[in-house]
């Protein structure tokens, strides 16, 4: 909780820094999964120029490498493993080393991904290098996000809100970048290269923001009071486990769905718009809803039921329009079905993740959380919510 003797966050620099850190932590991974058509085209053995086109449709040759399945597996396992290992790293590796080391490692891995755009390579070695990058990116991301959430445990809850808001906007930014890349009209190689360099710039900005924190009086005041080991571990584990629910469906299954309309502009832009952009916008809006209401409450049995019901999206998406598949029927061929499922899937994901974190203080958690409305934070600047006072939006009145 904020204290009355806390210094002011001059020009809201600490808040802006944590927002950019949130954006930078998920920006690389969102750029990676949004470019799935690029990876699938190169693995299909397409010609060098064709393989680099980010807008390659999914109706091409069958994915002999099962790219989506391997991406899901090699992202989930390291994410879960290093979430728990981070509890041990907390004791023996300094926080600065974990955060800066992870940022630099992710930067190097994405620089490698960008460099490979210029390298002609057979599908086999390219697949191996890409899967190794997936594994290491998620490993370092787990350590990075867990460590940052441990730091946020010492700050007023508004700063957790800003950090999570940045994470929510990372996917929207990546999807928009992909659409601009497709519509830019430049040659395919330049388009792909510029696309993969963009998150490298975001990581560099995150490094600069993190390095600036020790020089800001407001940040020094709070970060000097480290949370207890148990508190930091709970914050880190909770943050990571909540984010690994949805990855089993998005984009592993959803990216396979194609438009049922005849080939044309809409079918070319269908997946970037209806899968990636739509998911990230509605996910962010779902997270923002907790700024206005919290339902159901922590004592309701409806909350775990709603979480379990989300597994129904797995068969729903699998029965959408995936023409190259032969074992399952297509029960929902029209694009409207997929768009409706994606709307519900994304909103429920964002809302339930944010709701769970908001309700944690009510059920004996660590006393941090918050809805993810950036607009709401902007409105609060004039009311000095960032000047050492907590955002009460997700906290109940004190109990006797």
* Cβ–Cβ < 8 Å for 124, 45: no
Distance CA 237, CA 66 (A): 30
Please name which of 19, 46, 346 lies closest in space to residue 192, comparing C-alpha atoms: 46
In this predicted model, which residue has the larger pLDDT, 266 or 356?
A: 266
The token pair at 231 is 């508190």
Share of the chain above pLDDT 70, in %: 78
Q: What value, to the nearest 5°, has the Cα angle with vertex 354 and ends 348 and 360? A: 130
DSSP output for 275-310: IIIHHHHHHHHHHHGGGT---S-TT-THHHHHHHHG
Q: What is the DSSP letter of 228?
A: P
**Residue position matching structure tokens 């004190």:** 398
Residue-wise pLDDT tens digits, 29-83: 888 888 887 888 888 865 444 444 454 444 444 567 888 888 888 888 888 888 7
Q: In this model, does residue 364 exceed pLDDT 50?
A: no
Residue-wise pLDDT tens digits, 161-189: 788 788 888 989 999 988 888 887 777 77
Distance of CA 113 to the CA centre of its chain: 19
Distance CA 124, CA 64 (A): 10
Preceding amide of 7 cis, omega within 30: no
Q: In this model, does residue 160 exceed pLDDT 60?
A: yes
Q: Three-state SS for 99?
A: helix
**CA atoms within 13 A of residue 136's CA, in its CB half-sphere:** 18
Phi first, then psi: what are they for 320, rounded to 5°? -80, -170
Q: How many CB atoms lie within 10 A of CB 116?
A: 19
Q: What value, to the nearest 5°, has the Cα angle with vertex 369 and ends 368 and 372? A: 155
Q: Residue 226 — very low, low, confident or very high, per pLDDT cuts 50/70/90?
A: low
Dihedral (C-alpha) 355, 358, 359, 361: value to the nearest 10 degrees?
A: 170
* Cβ–Cβ < 8 Å for 107, 203: yes
Distance CA 162, CA 185 (A): 35
- Mean pLDDT over all residues of the chain? 79
Distance CA 192, CA 289 (A): 35
Distance CA 207, CA 103 (A): 7
Q: Three-state SS for 24?
A: helix
What pLDDT, on the 0 to 100 scale, is given for residue 15?
93
Distance CA 247, CA 241 (A): 11
State mean pLDDT over 131-149: 90
Distance CA 228, CA 311 (A): 35
Phi first, then psi: what are they for 332, rounded to 5°? -125, 75
Q: Three-state SS for 211?
A: helix
What pLDDT, on the 0 to 100 scale, is given for residue 383?
39
Distance CA 400, CA 397 (A): 9
Q: What is the DSSP letter of 244?
A: T
Q: In this model, does residue 314 exceed pLDDT 70?
A: yes
- 10-394 carries CATH number 1.20.1250: yes
* Cβ–Cβ < 8 Å for 195, 177: yes
Q: In this model, does residue 353 exceed pLDDT 60?
A: yes
Q: How many CB atoms lie within 10 A of CB 188?
A: 20
Q: Residue 388 — very low, low, confident or very high, per pLDDT cuts 50/70/90?
A: very low
* Cβ–Cβ < 8 Å for 27, 169: no
Q: In this model, does residue 400 exceed pLDDT 60?
A: no
Is pTM beyond 0.85? Reply is no
Q: How many CB atoms lie within 10 A of CB 393?
A: 20
In this predicted model, which residue has the larger pLDDT, 315 or 227?
A: 315
Q: Three-state SS for 118?
A: helix
In this predicted model, which residue has the larger pLDDT, 266 or 188?
A: 266
């Amino acid at each position: 909780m904020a204290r009355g003797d806390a210094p002011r966050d001059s020009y809201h620099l600490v808040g802006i820094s944590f927002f950019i850190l949130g954006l930078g932590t998920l920006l690389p991974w969102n750029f990676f999964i949004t470019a799935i058509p690029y990876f699938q085209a190169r693995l299909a053995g397409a010609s060098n120029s064709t393989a680099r086109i980010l807008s390659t449709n999914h109706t091409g040759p069958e994915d002999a490498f099962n790219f989506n399945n391997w991406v899901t597996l090699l992202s989930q396992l390291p994410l879960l493993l290093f979430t728990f290992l981070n509890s041990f790293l907390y004791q023996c590796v300094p926080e600065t080393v974990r955060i800066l080391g992870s940022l630099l490692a992710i930067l190097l891995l994405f620089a490698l991904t960008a460099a490979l755009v210029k390298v002609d390579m057979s599908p086999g070695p390219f697949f191996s290098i890409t899967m190794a990058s997936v594994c290491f990116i998620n490993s370092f991301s787990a350590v990075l996000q867990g460590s940052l959430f441990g730091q946020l445990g010492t700050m007023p809850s508004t700063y957790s809100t800003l950090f999570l808001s940045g994470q929510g906007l990372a996917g929207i930014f990546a999807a928009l970048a992909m659409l601009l890349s497709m519509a830019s009209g430049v040659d395919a190689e330049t388009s792909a290269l510029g696309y993969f360099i963009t998150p490298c710039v975001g990581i560099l900005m995150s490094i600069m923001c993190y390095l600036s924190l020790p020089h800001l009086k407001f940040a020094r005041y709070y970060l000097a009071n480290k949370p207890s080991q148990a508190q930091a571990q709970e914050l880190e584990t909770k943050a990571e486990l909540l984010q690994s629910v949805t990855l089993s469906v998005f984009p592993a299954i959803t990216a396979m769905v194609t438009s049922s309309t005849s080939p044309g502009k809409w079918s070319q832009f269908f997946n970037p718009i209806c899968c990636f952009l739509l998911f990230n916008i509605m996910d962010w809006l779902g997270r923002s809803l907790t700024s206005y209401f919290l339902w159901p409450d922590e004592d309701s049995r409806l909350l775990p039921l709603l979480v379990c019901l989300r597994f129904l999206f797995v068969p729903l998406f699998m029965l959408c329009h995936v023409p190259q598949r032969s074992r399952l029927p297509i029960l929902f061929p029209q694009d409207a079905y997929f768009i409706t499922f994606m709307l519900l899937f994304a909103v429920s994901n964002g809302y339930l993740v944010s709701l769970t974190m908001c309700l944690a203080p009510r059920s004996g958690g660590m006393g941090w959380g918050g809805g993810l409305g950036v607009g709401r934070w902007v409105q609060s600047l004039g009311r000095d919510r960032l000047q050492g006072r907590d955002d009460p939006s997700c906290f109940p009145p004190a109990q006797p």
